[in-house]
Amino acid sequence: MEIKSMHFKANVSAKLADAVLQGNLKNAKGKFVVKRAEAILDLDDFEGTRDAAAAIRNKVIDNLDLWLEGFEQKARDTGATVLWAKDGAEVCRLVIDIARKHGVKKVTKSKSMLSEEAGLNQALEAAGVQPVETDLGEYILQINDNEPPSHIIAPVVHKGLDEVADLFHKVHGTPRKTDIPALTREAREVLREHFVTADMGISGGNFLVAETGSVALVTNEGNGRMVTTLPKVHVVITGIEKVIPTLEDLSTLMRLLPRSATGQSISNYFSILTGVKKPEEHDGPEHLYFVLVDAGRADVVGSDFHAMLRCIRCGACMNHCPVYQTIGGHAYGWVYPGPMGSVLTPLYAGIENSIDLPHAATLCNQCGIVCPVRIPLPDLLRKLREKQTERGLRPLTERIGLRLWAWVALRPALYALGARFGARYLKWLANGSDRINVLPTAPEWTQGRDFPAPQGKTFRELYAQRRNAASRA
């Protein structure tokens, strides 16, 4: 997928000015937050389960090579073929090779963020293979000129009912419908035809179980089962960090994933798929391939960002992020939005390609609080900011400004004078009110909102006043 995260500020301005998007974001805001809050109450030991989940993920990523070798061996024992891709281009090449080998003309796909990373749909089309997205959200995006998803679990959350109604009417050539069950039925009828005529199914994988060589799939629409069992070939594309040791570990992680993602105690469909179809079985693929993808993940192992590999892609961090809630997912400019995306995009797509993303956070720590595997997202965002500064990637004016500030901060008398002057200047700008409409030194700040004018004395003045009072008492 094309990287547009270097245009973050321009993207944000466009998204803030988009009245339809803003309305849709407002409607969606908080729905997952409330459901998650309710769902975690029925877990006996939510905090203990989070500790256990983080420990499981740590255990794997601390020795990732060993667990991957174990998974590869078990998967081969079940009749699967395990392939390794170092980047998105290799993913596309491997999948197209598989398609050619089996004479595939049409592929049905269940949601896979890694195939978005790789730009797989475009590569398949160029190779003469028709990809059909079957997750309802992904399908809507595909028929809307291959629009990218804006959320990792609710890819079409940025769209309203009217937009989908118009799109179905235009693309399917059917009478315009505006009730959700009718639209869903229409999509189901279109997709059913593709399910039964596809030669190959492509899915992601929520987890790879090393103990059994299985892939675990979590979906809410049942499309995952159609994609993975009807065609004669099934290809699983997933990141190397998705491996977990045992089925017991899977049950621990599954207590957290749906609850954190959509507020469900269990997703509507949950499949554990192991090996190819056996002679006595009626359905399942005759050929099963795992494409295990690095694409920057191996470089994160052992780095300052090691903990990020614990991510189980639940989306809770973006659901709770005030920045994501305001701008939506497309502004982030790549596959992964929200706080997890602001860490992953610099790591996988290049820190220089995503200079503003680590700053696209208030550091309020809502993301860190809700992350089911306790990833310290604000700390990782801060570390990325440090890396940018170390590499001299921040704008010159910012670097000069911060050096000047540091120089002044080391001289208390000068700092006090500057703070007093600054407060008076801001009060003068406020012109007797408690708001400043335009900040000449930071016009972007006041473009969409007022800046609060300082009230009363400065912190240093109050501190000195209290210290004097205390010493007199």
Smaller CB separation from ligand SF4, 200 or 370: 370
Q: Which two tokens stand for residue 182?
A: 């009718």
CB of 191 to ligand SF4, least distance (A): 27
d(Cα 255, Cα 264) in Å, to the nearest integer? 10
Is residue 340 a contact point for ligand SF4 (CB under 6 A)?
yes
CB of 260 to ligand SF4, least distance (A): 6
Smaller CB separation from ligand SF4, 372 or 454: 372
d(Cα 95, Cα 89) in Å, to the nearest integer? 10
Is residue 210 a contact point for ligand SF4 (CB under 6 A)?
no
Q: What share of the chain is helix, strand, coil (3-state, %, to 5)?
A: 55, 10, 35
Question: For residues 50 and 253, is the Cβ–Cβ distance under 8 A?
Answer: no
Question: For residues 285 and 339, is the Cβ–Cβ distance under 8 A?
Answer: no
∠ CA 135-138-139, rounded to 5°: 80
CB of 257 to ligand SF4, least distance (A): 8
List phi, psi (to 5°) of 426: -65, -35
Smaller CB separation from ligand SF4, 12 or 312: 312
- Interface residue with ligand SF4, options 288, 316, 347, 430 (CB under 6 A): 316
Is residue 311 a contact point for ligand SF4 (CB under 6 A)?
yes
Is residue 341 a contact point for ligand SF4 (CB under 6 A)?
no
List phi, psi (to 5°) of 175: -60, 145
Give the range of 11-19, 217-225, 308-316, 423-431 binding ligand SF4 by CB under 6 A. 308-316
Query: Comparing C-alpha atoms, which of 349, 341, 290, 340 is closest to residue 1?
Result: 349
Query: Comparing C-alpha atoms, which of 168, 119, 114 is closest to residue 139?
Result: 168
- Interface residue with ligand SF4, options 137, 329, 372, 378 (CB under 6 A): 372
Q: Which two tokens stand for residue 70?
A: 């174990």
Is residue 60 a contact point for ligand SF4 (CB under 6 A)?
no
Smaller CB separation from ligand SF4, 73 or 362: 362
Smaller CB separation from ligand SF4, 131 or 368: 368
Give the range of 204-212, 368-376, 430-438, 457-465 binding ligand SF4 by CB under 6 A. 368-376
Is residue 35 a contact point for ligand SF4 (CB under 6 A)?
no
Smaller CB separation from ligand SF4, 293 or 311: 311
Question: For residues 186 and 224, is the Cβ–Cβ distance under 8 A?
Answer: no
Is residue 375 a contact point for ligand SF4 (CB under 6 A)?
yes
Smaller CB separation from ligand SF4, 25 or 311: 311
∠ CA 205-208-214, rounded to 5°: 100
Is residue 371 a contact point for ligand SF4 (CB under 6 A)?
yes
Interface size with ligand SF4, residues (CB under 6 A): 15
Touching ligand SF4, residues 250-269 (CB under 6 A): 260
CB of 339 to ligand SF4, least distance (A): 6
The sign of the CA dihedral 104, 109, 112, 116 is positive
CB of 345 to ligand SF4, least distance (A): 13
CB of 320 to ligand SF4, least distance (A): 8
Query: Comparing C-alpha atoms, which of 319, 326, 296, 320 is closest to residue 308?
Result: 296
CB of 449 to ligand SF4, least distance (A): 27
Q: Which two tokens stand for residue 312?
A: 């189980």
Give the range of 180-188, 194-202, 313-321, 346-354 binding ligand SF4 by CB under 6 A. 313-321
Q: DSSP 3-state assignment of 81?
A: strand
Neighbours of 146 (CB within 10 A): 14
d(Cα 12, Cα 20) in Å, to the nearest integer? 14
CB of 270 to ligand SF4, least distance (A): 18
Q: DSSP 3-state assignment of 124?
A: helix
Smaller CB separation from ligand SF4, 187 or 318: 318
CB of 401 to ligand SF4, least distance (A): 31
Smaller CB separation from ligand SF4, 224 or 378: 378
Is residue 315 a contact point for ligand SF4 (CB under 6 A)?
yes
Smaller CB separation from ligand SF4, 95 or 316: 316
- Interface residue with ligand SF4, options 373, 423, 430, 436 (CB under 6 A): 373
**Sequence-ordered list of residues with C-beta below 8 angstroms from that of 95, at least 6 positions apart, any chain:** 120, 123, 124, 202, 235, 237, 291
**Sequence-ordered list of residues with C-beta below 8 angstroms from that of 184, at least 6 positions apart, any chain:** 136
Smaller CB separation from ligand SF4, 122 or 252: 252
Question: For residues 220 and 262, is the Cβ–Cβ distance under 8 A?
Answer: yes
Start-end of H helices in 350-458: 366-370, 377-390, 396-409, 412-430
Smaller CB separation from ligand SF4, 36 or 287: 36
Residues engaged in binding ligand SF4 (CB under 6 A): 260, 311-317, 340, 370-373, 375, 377
